[in-house]
A and B are shown apart, each in its own frame.
Chain A
Amino acid sequence: MLVQLARRTAILLASLVVASILVFWFMWVLPGDPAQVALGTGATEEAVAEMQARFGTDRPVPVQYLDWVTGLPQLDFGQSYVTGAAIGPLIIDRLLVSLWLIGAGMLVALVIAVPLGTLSAVHHRRPLGTALAGVSQVGIAIPNFLAGILLIGLVSVSWQLLPAGGWVPPDQDVVQFLRRLLLPALSLGVIEGAVLARYVRSTVLNVLREDFLRTARAKGLTPGRALVRHGLRNAAVPVVTVLGLQLAVLLVGAVVVERVFVVPGLGSLLLDGVANRDLLLVQGVVMVLVVAVLLLNYLVDVLYTVLDPRLRATA
């Protein structure tokens, strides 16, 4: 098991290095010199050269890469070409906001998907199961920005129950924090829950056909207790895989939803960076998103071996 963990960790580190090279390279091949962009088209060559020296972009590319990448572990993402501010603290700030949103969205998704998927599997031959499967199908068909707009229209504008957007940090005012978190989390989570419910349904259906579930009933468990005691953990293994993949989707969904609800998260920061041609900032945010996805996949792999002893081969 330790060998496997070490191997997985090595793969993670290698992926991180490759990802950082790719992210850096993509930004570097983009047309438009940062110094030129900062000074405008009318700048003299001397002024541009001076700016390049200040940004450090006059140095050889590998040196620039090494300079950037060695700062990352200390959360040093460099200084913005546009505002001159340190990017690291900015990203951390915004990341915390996004994590609240994604975490709450995932929670909503799970709270919807696990009971909905399990029920529709258990009742799959009866009207209830078909109805639940239909509901989840409708959910999948709605993009989450549309769900956000609909929620704002209904809950904030028509019923005036919750604010339509904005952000209050939890340490400032918990109630206001929750009131502003709820709608974006719902528009992110409800759709995600619908997608996930289908996976839960199909894995539970498979587990229901397993011999060991029949054994559990032969031991004297009622069908419901057999499913809870023996079935759900077995169903969790494939669901965790999808959960890992869907979290990456959720990260991307958050970029859009943050825009709709004016939440100052990582997604808003990314879009601002793109709008201002703040390349180093964009580079930093993209890197953080990539690290998050890689880290999630790593955690999913580790979680597998915790859930399923068959994957703890000692090879």
Chain B
Amino acid sequence: MGAVSARPDPPPAVLDVAGLSVRTGDHALVEDVSFHLGAGERVGLIGESGSGKSLTALAIMGLLPDELSASGHIRLREVERDLLSASETERSTLRGDRLGMVFQEPMTALNPLMRVGAQVAEVLRIHGAVSGREAATDRARDLLAAVELPDPERIARRYPHQLSGGQRQRVMLAMALANGPDLLICDEPTTALDVTVQAQMLKLIDDGVAARDSALLFISHDLAVVATVCDRILVMYGGRIVEAGPTRALLTRPRHPYTEGLMAASDLEAVDAAGRLPTIAGSVPPDGRFPDGCVFRNRCPRGDDACQAWPGWTGEQHDGVACWYPSGSGREAGRG
């Protein structure tokens, strides 16, 4: 990305991802992804399933499945070594301590044979945040109380199957925030929850990161959810970041046709002449077999011959677009 050099001096980033690619064999699932997060900053990563959002998160955590390999650079504040070249042992000392993560599926993310209090206490004890079993139990109960679980004393003694999805996800959040991480990654944390408890969960995430001044990387396909939580948004498609910008600007003046499509598809008031809700034509190609050049060109209303080459990045790293014909540039009028 050419924009890196044009970037003005930013405050020291908590997380700096540069040229991240994730591959299976010779096939790229995530390609040349670069972004950074400052302390306390909330950044949304949006895109359809298969766009590479979760792989990006797992690469940062160091939890990619064995058959996938990551290349590029991932730097965490105050860590000398590039995370991608660090050993498994070094990375595991960062996970759960400086990096916390909440996964999408609360029903399977907790160990079914262990009381939830003990699972929260474990993350404290692994990193030596407290000494002794009792202190860990007490602190775990406080953490469960902090995510507004009623009667934390009783909940701590419960097994995961005795809790609702929303309660389990709060337990996950309590675990992820337990050691006050520099970065919290939430991968579709509310997707599996009832709409009624989604808002509560978002508020807890919001409060949790605010209290610890943690940076937040919030992954979702839901624009409305991201808009309520995040200061900035990164739009991913086909394993690449196709647009980035401040939340309000990006949602009011999307530049990439894919972002426009996402916006149109989430507007439930709008219907076309036939009375149908707008959709993005086509679907994400199976197995991540995206076209060369611009990954979106086979579904893009503006696609033409120029799009057979990757358009490159225009603008700042955190405010730009990768498109030959971005909206508002005057060029989209001349589409082929």
Residues of A within 8 A of B (CB): 125, 210-212, 214-223, 229-230, 233-234, 307-310
In the bound assembly, the distance between CA atoms of A212 and B101 in angstroms comes to: 12
In the bound assembly, the distance between CA atoms of A229 and B118 in angstroms comes to: 12
In the bound assembly, the distance between CA atoms of A234 and B94 in angstroms comes to: 26
- CB of A315 to closest CB in B, whole Å: 13
- CB of B297 to closest CB in A, whole Å: 35
In the bound assembly, the distance between CA atoms of A310 and B158 in angstroms comes to: 11
Cβ contact within 8 Å between A309 and B89: no
The yes or no answer to B175 lying at the interface (CB within 8 A) is yes
Residues of B within 8 A of A309 (CB): 112-113, 159, 161
- Assuming the A-B contacts A211-B103, A309-B159, A310-B159, are A217 and B92 also in contact, with contact meaning beta carbons closer than 8 angstroms in the complex? yes
- Assuming the A-B contacts A220-B126, A222-B92, are A212 and B63 also in contact, with contact meaning beta carbons closer than 8 angstroms in the complex? no
- Assuming the A-B contacts A210-B108, A310-B159, are A218 and B113 also in contact, with contact meaning beta carbons closer than 8 angstroms in the complex? no
Cβ contact within 8 Å between B111 and A214: no
13 contacting pairs across A/B (C-beta < 8 A):
A125-B67, A211-B103, A217-B92, A218-B63, A219-B122, A220-B95, A220-B97, A220-B127, A221-B92, A222-B89, A308-B112, A309-B161, A310-B161
Residues of B within 8 A of A215 (CB): 103, 109-111, 172, 175
In the bound assembly, the distance between CA atoms of A308 and B93 in angstroms comes to: 30
* CB contact between B103 and one of A214, A220, A221, A308 (< 8 Å): that residue: A214
Given contacts A215-B109, A220-B96, A221-B126, 12 further A-B contacts (CB under 8 A): A218-B100, A218-B101, A219-B126, A219-B175, A220-B126, A221-B96, A234-B111, A309-B159, A309-B161, A310-B112, A310-B159, A310-B161
Cβ contact within 8 Å between B114 and A230: yes
- CB of B68 to closest CB in A, whole Å: 13
Cβ contact within 8 Å between A218 and B95: yes
In the bound assembly, the distance between CA atoms of A229 and B114 in angstroms comes to: 10
- Assuming the A-B contacts A222-B89, A222-B92, are A217 and B63 also in contact, with contact meaning beta carbons closer than 8 angstroms in the complex? yes
Task: Tell me which residues from 297 to 331 in chain B have a Cβ below 8 Å from any Cβ of chain A.
Answer: none
Interface of chain A, main secondary structure:
helix
In the bound assembly, the distance between CA atoms of A308 and B113 in angstroms comes to: 6
* CB contact between B93 and one of A211, A218, A220 (< 8 Å): that residue: A220
In the bound assembly, the distance between CA atoms of A217 and B176 in angstroms comes to: 12
Cβ contact within 8 Å between A223 and B96: no
The yes or no answer to B105 lying at the interface (CB within 8 A) is yes
- Size band of the B side of the interface? 20 to 34
- CB of A241 to closest CB in B, whole Å: 16
Residues of B within 8 A of A125 (CB): 66-67
- CB of A126 to closest CB in B, whole Å: 10
The yes or no answer to B292 lying at the interface (CB within 8 A) is no
- Give the top 3 A-B pairs by smallest Cβ distance, nearest first: A220-B96, A219-B96, A211-B108
Closest to B67 in A: A125
Cβ contact within 8 Å between B111 and A212: yes
* CB contact between B96 and one of A210, A212, A218 (< 8 Å): that residue: A218
- CB of B106 to closest CB in A, whole Å: 9
In the bound assembly, the distance between CA atoms of A307 and B159 in angstroms comes to: 12
Residues of B within 8 A of A233 (CB): 113
- CB of B279 to closest CB in A, whole Å: 31
- CB of B40 to closest CB in A, whole Å: 22
Residues of A within 8 A of B67 (CB): 125
Cβ contact within 8 Å between B112 and A217: no
Residues of B within 8 A of A211 (CB): 103, 105, 108-109
- CB of B143 to closest CB in A, whole Å: 13
Cβ contact within 8 Å between B92 and A220: yes
The yes or no answer to B61 lying at the interface (CB within 8 A) is yes
Residues of A within 8 A of B223 (CB): none
Residues of B within 8 A of A214 (CB): 63, 103, 109
Cβ contact within 8 Å between A220 and B123: yes
A-contact bits for B69-100, CB 8 A (1 contact / 0 none)? 00000000000000000001100111111001
